Chains A and B, each alone.
Chain A
């Protein structure tokens, strides 16, 4: 499995855009990139998944460059309720394992 590296923490203010970059230098052809969000005292929640280029949903955007060795999760106009830990995962078909790294703690301040 490709190992992932993310910043340990990031601070932001309400209304700003938050970009979290994840490095996965050893990503394989069959691997997909997935991001999860975890609030205190809750289980992780799926945010977005992509293979290449850009994916956007109602919560976030995911940017993946052509070499796929990194990816950036973009949270537009964050609010206090976006304070959470964000995990970047790399997984492939029939792997039966979703491996979580240390995650990035994002703190949004008023």
Chain B
């Protein structure tokens, strides 16, 4: 059973389109995250949710809207896609945040290519 699963794994789309990436975790964790990894391999946090509540929004453009229908799911919707949105997007979850026991489990990533 995959602990954190994302779909799709690859996404190629044209500029201006709207797309969604889905994430599900079966670990019973309270906290979920979205990270963006660009071509230089920097991993930047985008959002953090705790028990379906948005906790962190790291100055991400409004075109990105996360949605957490329940504790096990955190989806990412992107409007009006731009070339600069091309990256690998990782979903992750952890039982608690920061401090002890900060083991976060990451999905396999979604490689988004905007053409």
Contacts and interface: CB of A to CB of B under 8 A. Distances in A.
A91 B98 contact: yes
B100 interface: yes
Label chain A's interface by main secondary structure. loop
Given A43-B90, A98-B33, A93 B108 contact: no
B86 interface: no
B38 to A, nearest CB: 12
Given A43-B108, A97-B97, A87 B43 contact: yes
Interface of A: 30-32, 34, 36, 41-46, 49, 51, 85, 87, 89, 91-100, 102-103
A21 B45 CA distance: 23
A91 B41 contact: no
Interface in B92-106: 92, 94, 96-106
A91 to B, nearest CB: 4
